[in-house]
Amino acid sequence: MSLVPFDPFRQLDNMRRDLNRLFSADFGANREFGMPKVDVYETENEVVATCDIPGLEKKDDVHIHINEQNLLTISGTIQRSNEIKEENMHKQERFTGHFQRSIPLPSPVSMEGNAKASYKNGVLEIRMPKVEDDDQNRNKIDVDFH
Protein backbone atom coordinates (compact mmCIF):
# COMPACT_ATOMS: atom_id res chain seq x y z
CA MET A 1 0.00 0.00 0.00
CA SER A 2 1.44 3.34 -1.02
CA LEU A 3 1.24 6.41 1.15
CA VAL A 4 -0.44 9.49 -0.27
CA PRO A 5 0.32 12.88 1.22
CA PHE A 6 -2.56 14.52 3.01
CA ASP A 7 -4.43 17.01 0.84
CA PRO A 8 -7.30 18.78 2.62
CA PHE A 9 -8.80 19.95 -0.69
CA ARG A 10 -8.89 16.56 -2.41
CA GLN A 11 -12.41 15.81 -1.15
CA LEU A 12 -13.59 19.26 -2.22
CA ASP A 13 -12.14 18.72 -5.68
CA ASN A 14 -13.89 15.34 -5.96
CA MET A 15 -17.17 16.91 -4.81
CA ARG A 16 -16.75 19.73 -7.37
CA ARG A 17 -16.25 17.18 -10.16
CA ASP A 18 -19.31 15.22 -9.04
CA LEU A 19 -21.43 18.38 -8.97
CA ASN A 20 -20.18 19.45 -12.40
CA ARG A 21 -21.06 16.04 -13.79
CA LEU A 22 -24.52 16.18 -12.20
CA PHE A 23 -25.31 19.67 -13.45
CA SER A 24 -23.94 19.15 -16.95
CA ALA A 25 -25.98 15.97 -17.34
CA ASP A 26 -29.23 17.32 -15.92
CA PHE A 27 -29.30 21.09 -16.25
CA GLY A 28 -27.03 21.47 -19.26
CA ALA A 29 -29.66 20.08 -21.60
CA ASN A 30 -32.19 22.62 -20.25
CA ARG A 31 -34.96 21.04 -22.33
CA GLU A 32 -35.49 18.41 -19.65
CA PHE A 33 -36.76 21.21 -17.42
CA GLY A 34 -38.80 23.04 -20.04
CA MET A 35 -36.17 25.69 -20.80
CA PRO A 36 -35.05 25.67 -24.43
CA LYS A 37 -31.67 27.21 -25.26
CA VAL A 38 -31.77 30.68 -26.84
CA ASP A 39 -29.22 32.82 -28.70
CA VAL A 40 -29.83 36.59 -28.82
CA TYR A 41 -27.83 39.01 -30.94
CA GLU A 42 -28.39 42.40 -32.47
CA THR A 43 -27.57 44.08 -35.72
CA GLU A 44 -27.72 47.77 -36.51
CA ASN A 45 -31.49 47.63 -37.15
CA GLU A 46 -32.86 44.63 -35.30
CA VAL A 47 -32.62 42.20 -32.39
CA VAL A 48 -32.67 38.52 -33.36
CA ALA A 49 -33.43 35.57 -31.10
CA THR A 50 -33.02 31.95 -32.22
CA CYS A 51 -34.31 29.11 -30.11
CA ASP A 52 -34.01 25.33 -30.47
CA ILE A 53 -37.49 23.86 -29.97
CA PRO A 54 -37.77 20.55 -31.83
CA GLY A 55 -41.17 18.89 -31.98
CA LEU A 56 -43.57 21.80 -32.58
CA GLU A 57 -46.27 20.83 -35.05
CA LYS A 58 -48.41 23.96 -35.49
CA LYS A 59 -48.24 27.68 -34.80
CA ASP A 60 -50.60 27.40 -31.80
CA ASP A 61 -47.96 25.27 -30.03
CA VAL A 62 -45.74 28.33 -29.40
CA HIS A 63 -46.47 31.80 -27.98
CA ILE A 64 -44.12 34.78 -28.15
CA HIS A 65 -44.59 37.99 -26.13
CA ILE A 66 -42.57 41.02 -25.13
CA ASN A 67 -43.52 43.00 -22.04
CA GLU A 68 -42.94 46.62 -21.05
CA GLN A 69 -39.62 45.74 -19.40
CA ASN A 70 -38.26 44.58 -22.79
CA LEU A 71 -38.42 40.92 -21.72
CA LEU A 72 -38.97 38.34 -24.49
CA THR A 73 -40.99 35.32 -23.37
CA ILE A 74 -41.25 32.19 -25.48
CA SER A 75 -43.64 29.50 -24.23
CA GLY A 76 -45.63 26.60 -25.55
CA THR A 77 -46.25 22.88 -25.50
CA ILE A 78 -44.58 19.96 -27.24
CA GLN A 79 -46.88 16.98 -27.62
CA ARG A 80 -45.67 13.72 -29.06
CA SER A 81 -47.98 10.87 -29.87
CA ASN A 82 -46.50 7.93 -28.05
CA GLU A 83 -47.30 4.69 -29.84
CA ILE A 84 -44.72 2.84 -27.77
CA LYS A 85 -45.96 1.09 -24.65
CA GLU A 86 -44.43 2.27 -21.38
CA GLU A 87 -43.06 -1.20 -20.56
CA ASN A 88 -41.24 -1.32 -23.93
CA MET A 89 -39.52 2.04 -23.44
CA HIS A 90 -35.88 1.63 -22.36
CA LYS A 91 -34.74 5.26 -22.40
CA GLN A 92 -36.69 8.46 -22.90
CA GLU A 93 -34.76 11.74 -23.12
CA ARG A 94 -36.78 13.85 -25.55
CA PHE A 95 -38.77 16.60 -23.86
CA THR A 96 -42.56 16.67 -23.97
CA GLY A 97 -44.83 19.06 -22.15
CA HIS A 98 -44.89 22.78 -21.40
CA PHE A 99 -41.82 24.97 -21.89
CA GLN A 100 -41.13 28.62 -21.13
CA ARG A 101 -38.13 30.89 -21.40
CA SER A 102 -37.83 34.62 -20.67
CA ILE A 103 -34.85 36.63 -21.91
CA PRO A 104 -34.09 40.33 -21.43
CA LEU A 105 -33.48 42.01 -24.79
CA PRO A 106 -30.40 44.18 -25.29
CA SER A 107 -32.30 47.03 -27.04
CA PRO A 108 -35.91 48.29 -27.18
CA VAL A 109 -37.85 46.69 -30.05
CA SER A 110 -41.05 47.46 -31.96
CA MET A 111 -43.79 44.88 -32.17
CA GLU A 112 -46.15 46.83 -34.42
CA GLY A 113 -46.43 44.66 -37.52
CA ASN A 114 -42.70 44.59 -38.24
CA ALA A 115 -41.56 41.76 -35.97
CA LYS A 116 -41.38 38.36 -37.66
CA ALA A 117 -41.00 34.85 -36.33
CA SER A 118 -40.36 31.72 -38.36
CA TYR A 119 -39.99 28.07 -37.44
CA LYS A 120 -37.99 25.69 -39.60
CA ASN A 121 -36.19 22.41 -38.84
CA GLY A 122 -36.81 22.72 -35.10
CA VAL A 123 -35.39 26.25 -34.83
CA LEU A 124 -37.55 29.26 -33.98
CA GLU A 125 -36.15 32.58 -35.22
CA ILE A 126 -37.60 35.89 -34.04
CA ARG A 127 -36.56 39.14 -35.77
CA MET A 128 -37.54 42.34 -33.98
CA PRO A 129 -36.79 45.82 -35.37
CA LYS A 130 -35.19 48.26 -32.95
CA VAL A 131 -36.99 51.47 -31.94
CA GLU A 132 -36.35 54.50 -29.77
CA ASP A 133 -37.42 54.20 -26.13
CA ASP A 134 -40.41 56.53 -26.56
CA ASP A 135 -41.82 54.56 -29.55
CA GLN A 136 -42.30 51.11 -28.00
CA ASN A 137 -45.39 49.15 -28.99
CA ARG A 138 -45.91 45.65 -27.60
CA ASN A 139 -48.00 42.99 -29.30
CA LYS A 140 -48.08 39.23 -29.76
CA ILE A 141 -45.79 37.92 -32.51
CA ASP A 142 -47.25 35.55 -35.08
CA VAL A 143 -45.15 32.53 -36.23
CA ASP A 144 -44.79 31.38 -39.86
CA PHE A 145 -44.36 27.59 -40.15
CA HIS A 146 -42.44 26.23 -43.15
Residue 9 confidence (pLDDT): 77
Residue 29 confidence (pLDDT): 43
* Mean pLDDT along residues 2-29: 69
Distance CA 20, CA 26 (A): 10
Report all structural domains of the chain as residue ranges with CATH numbers, in order of start.
36-81+95-145 (2.60.40.790)
For 23-77, write each residue's pLDDT tens digit: 655 444 444 456 789 999 999 999 999 999 988 888 899 999 998 888 999 999 9
For 82-123, write each residue's pLDDT tens digit: 677 777 777 777 777 899 999 999 999 986 768 899 999 999
State the Cα angle at 14 between 9 and 15, rounded to 5°. Answer: 95
